[in-house]
Amino acid sequence: MPFLLLIWLTYSQGNSLSSHNLMNDKLMSTDPTFLNPSIDWDQRYQNRLDLPPPAWILAQHLHLLPAQGHALDLACGLGANALLLARQGLETTAWDVSSVAIERLRQQAAQQHLRVQALQQDVLLEPPKPNSFDVIVISRFLERSLIPHLFAALRPNGLLFYQTFTRNSVHAEYGPRNPSYRLANNELLQLCQGLQIVVYREEGRWGDINQGLRDEAGVIAAKVF
Q: What ranges in 48-121 are assigned the alpha helix state H?
A: 56-59, 80-87, 99-111
DSSP state of 149: H
Residue 30: band (very low, low, confident or very high) from pLDDT cuts 50, 70, 90:
very low
Domain locations in the chain?
A: 3-223
- Give the pLDDT score at 15: 38
Mean pLDDT, residues 42-66: 89
Out of 116-120, 138-142, 150-154, 182-186, give the one with best mean pLDDT.
116-120
Specify the CATH number of the domain 3-223: 3.40.50.150
pTM of the complete model beyond 0.85 = no
Residues 6+ apart with CB under 8 A from 56: 8, 15, 16, 17, 22, 163, 213, 218
